[in-house]
Structure 1
């Protein structure tokens, strides 16, 4: 139903909620979510009501006009066939939840429909993938993912796969990886460089021709973790017309692992703004994939970021970071 009062608009480029639910006790050999083993199955089976960071019913009660990128996470250590099984399991779970909770969520097939979906009071659910290890030697599975309306693919996790190398390795984009990037661009699937090492990042810049994303990455100048972006990387994304989602992960916000404060978050946003990122900064929470600041847990508290940004930078910047930049980026991707 449409909102009775003006909602807060939120667009989040990354969460791991689907894996946490879909693979709960179903893929024990994959090592998923061991910390959830003690949670009753009834509280880990529904996207609408659960013990995760994100639940559709809680977000609906919070009155957000909300677009969420739901990722299928494929770890690096998996073989291509094993990774494909996981992708299919998460995809099928997502489809079942879309059908079961149609009053709360609608899948994004065309990003130009996002505003209409959220204004009608539903979550606009965008299906994405984190880790391309299920793609090896052939583009067939990439095209199958595109046919399932996967809108963005993070090329690697932290390690190396057939496409590229993550931030704990030293190699770059492979010859096959360059083919993957070109095929993704042809299918209008956004190339996501979060998790890449520096060599792979710059190889993607050379191999790509369209705007790309860092769905959940922060500023390395503020917090020196290799998962974060250098200033030159951020400028390259801005110059290409890309998008960068601010990651809530404690280890990427501040270097000592302590619970980040609101000021710690502002340091990253302010730094990106000074680099010309007014139209490139978005949210990339990593909810259900990491430990987040206590004041942003669970996900219905995400609106506190909008309040924080509005107070510090003004309402226009807050609206841009929390929704407009990401919405405009994906809308452009449909027509460029």
Structure 2
């Protein structure tokens, strides 16, 4: 069993609950770590839309420090990873490799120099926006593209090797990223609009652009993004995976659960269940080679090439 998950919101939940990697009240935990051959979990510091400015910067720092506290408290379970080599070394000894990310560029507090602060903190991916408007741009509930500041941030992120994440970004913002970005970008937790029509999902053309740029797209388990009927079962997951492969996504398809940030079907609502969903996809005719890429190797290879 293996899983390289590009997005969850569990860190914020751990902090709120004053809990740890063995929490029994969250979708993500390491209570079933022993089932895994290898597990890498990206943990996002999610910045709510009501938090802005210096308050958002401090909110990030508090949660960054809480992750450090947890890895120090439970070193036998998890260790923070900064490179692909780290991920391999950590998972090879049976621990979970944890990658730090940020959901919403509001964490910068409107200051370009805070990109350096994020990079120095070990942040490897930054989701530019959430649902609303921040200093960088606008989420899928709005129509504005990137701000001038947002464009500057992308250039600075590329300098500091923080990966641009376009999940949540609206269509005009996606077009702006395509104009500015000189390096591959990713959608850590996004599905396809052709399968589920929610605006939060990627169009076929957007997905193909990420394929062309050799990025990544992590399949999101949120019921509302898996089907128009809000059914997030294994078959709904399969339909997105199948379409992504039709669009040439074999080398960029990945996993982006959105654990602890979304309503997820009981068949998929833990890391072990998500990893085990590969058995269902295998039964549906997707090859073991492709599943190995989707559940781990594509993300690991992207890290090798881009961090």
The answer to whether TM tops 0.5 is yes
SS for the counterpart of 2:140 is coil
Task: Name which of 228, 234, 240 aligns with 1:268.
Answer: 240
Q: Distance in 1 between matches of 2:125 and 2:270?
A: 24
Gaps of 5+ in 1: 1-7, 25-43
In structure 2, the gaps of 5 or more residues are: none
- Higher deviation after alignment, 249-258 or 128-137: 128-137
The question of whether the paired residues in 2 share the 8 Å contact of 1:309 and 1:315 is answered with: no
Separation (CA, whole Å) in 2 of partners of 1:151 and 1:298: 23
Per-residue CA distance 1:53-95 (angstroms, 9 max, x = gap): 1112x23132341000000000222121111121111111100
Aligned residue number for residue 64 of structure 2: 91
User: Residue 118 of structure 2 is aligned with which of 145, 156, 177?
Assistant: 145
Would you say 1:295 and 2:282 are equivalent positions?
Answer: no
Contact 2:3–2:271 (CA under 8 A) maintained in structure 1: no
| Residues 1-336 of structure 1 aligned to structure 2 (within 5 Å) | 8-24=1-17, 44-56=18-30, 58-258=31-231, 260-311=232-283, 312-334=285-307
- Per-residue deviation, 1:49: 3.3
For residue 216 of structure 1, give the secondary structure of its aligned residue in structure 2: coil
Do the aligned partners of residues 224 and 308 (structure 1) sit closer, same or farther apart at CA in structure 2, a change above 3 Å counting?
same
How many residues of Structure 1 are paired with residues of Structure 2 in the alignment?
A: 306
| Counterpart secondary structure, 1:51 | coil
Which residue is equivalent to 1:34? Answer: none
Alpha-carbon contact 2:53-2:110 (below 8 Å) kept: no
Taking a change above 3 Å as real, the CA distance of residues 265 and 137 of structure 1, as seen in their structure-2 partners, is closer
RMSD: 1.2
Mapped partners of 1:293, 1:328: distance in 2: 29
Matches of 1:19 and 1:137, distance apart in 2:
22
C-alpha separation in 1, matches of 2:157 and 2:90: 25
CA contact (8 A) 1:76 1:156 kept: no
Contact 1:172 1:200 in 2 (8 A): yes
What TM-score comes out, normalization by structure 1 length? 0.88
